[in-house]
Structure 1
Amino acid sequence: MRAHGNSPVGRRIWKDTISRNFTDELAKLKIDWGDREPPTFHEIRSLAERLYDKQGGIKTQDLLGHKDPRSTALYHDARGSEWIRVEVGT
């Protein structure tokens, strides 16, 4: 293994580096997002956490590498992007 950028081997990678590289790679795909913004790295990570949690049997806190469960809880919050089903009586 060898060092990449500002992150020596064995050290954590700066989160800004991950986000920036994700954005750069996504731009290379040349996807037409129309009038919408492409998803961020953390939006994709949040979606993954919620999908794994829904699947069950997976400790998403461990999967995300969080020491504090409050950090995982932030990823679990869909921030209003999920559909809300409303039951309507007949």
Structure 2
Amino acid sequence: MTAAPGPTHVVRIEYCVRCRWLPRAAWLAQEVLTTFEADLAEVALVPGTGGVFRVTVDGEQVWDRADQGFPEPSPIKRLIRDRVAPGRSLGHSEA
């Protein structure tokens, strides 16, 4: 008997260490993990420099602070949901 494959989706949150954005990245990672714990194989915090704050899902960039500012959890959750669990309701995050 073969076990069913687990989730394979990976979210990466790259943040600027010089800007001290680790707490913001960790908070966003916690929000993502709380919402998608059964849908994700990994949420990675990736140290960077140069003012970077970027979110990718399965290698596809979904948010870049340079173009879009700092993300709130709701828009990030919708972007992730659209890629890993389309059609799933996010409850109050849908508004």
TM-score (norm 1): 0.27
Larger fraction in strand? 2
TM-score (norm 2): 0.26
Larger fraction in helix? 1
Structure of higher RCO (CA pairs closer than 8 Å, 6+ residues apart): 2
